[in-house]
Chain A
Amino acid sequence: MPKAEEKLIGKDGIRIDGRKFNELRPTKIEIGILSNADGSAYIEQGKNKILAAVYGPHEVHPKHLAQPDRSILRCRYHMAPFSVDERKSPAPSRREMELSKVIRESLEPSIFLEYYPRTSIDLFIEVLQANGGTRCSGITVASLALADAGIPMRDLIAACAAGKVEGQLVLDLNDEEDKKGEADVPVAYTPNLNVITLLQMDGQLTLEEFEQTVNLSLEGCKQLYAMQKEALKVKYVAVKEEVDE
Chain B
Amino acid sequence: MSSIVRVKQKQIAELMNKGKRLDGRELNDYREIKVEMGIIEKAEGSARVLLGKTEVLVGIKIEAGEPFPDTPNEGVLTVNAELVPLASPTFEPGPPDENAIELARVVDRGIRESKAVNLEKLCLEPGKKVLVVFIDVYVLNHDGNLIDASALAALAALVNTKMPKYEIEEGEVKVKPGYIPLPMQNYPIAITFGKINGKLAIDPWLEEEQVMDSRLTMAIEKDGKICAIQKGGTGYFSTEQIFEVSKIAQEKASEIRKLVVKE
Residues of A that sit less than 8 Å from B by CB: 69, 94-95, 97-98, 100-102, 104-106, 108-109, 185, 190, 193-207, 210-211, 214-215, 218
Contacts and interface: CB of A to CB of B under 8 A. Distances in A.
A98 B226 contact: no
Interface in B228-260: 228-239, 242-243, 246-247, 250
Given A195-B236, A199-B216, A214-B239, A206 B224 contact: yes
A1 to B, nearest CB: 13
A206 B218 CA distance: 12
A97 B104 CA distance: 12
A207 B221 contact: no
Contacts, number: 94
B113 interface: yes
Instruction: For chain B, give the interface size range.
Output: 35 or more
11 contacts: A97-B101, A102-B102, A105-B231, A105-B234, A108-B234, A109-B235, A190-B236, A210-B246, A211-B243, A214-B242, A215-B239
Contact of A102 (B1, B226, B231): B231
A204 B114 contact: yes
B226 A218 contact: no
A207 B229 contact: no
Interface in B86-115: 98, 101-102, 104-105, 109, 112-114
Given A193-B236, A197-B236, A207-B226, A94 B105 contact: yes
Nearest to A68: B2
Interface of B: 1, 98, 101-102, 104-105, 109, 112-114, 214, 216, 218, 221, 224-239, 242-243, 246-247, 250
A196 B239 contact: yes
Nearest to B97: A97
Contacts of A198: 231
B230 A200 contact: yes
A194 B240 CA distance: 11
B236 A196 contact: yes
A206 B246 CA distance: 10
A199 B98 contact: no
A205 B225 contact: yes
A215 B242 CA distance: 11
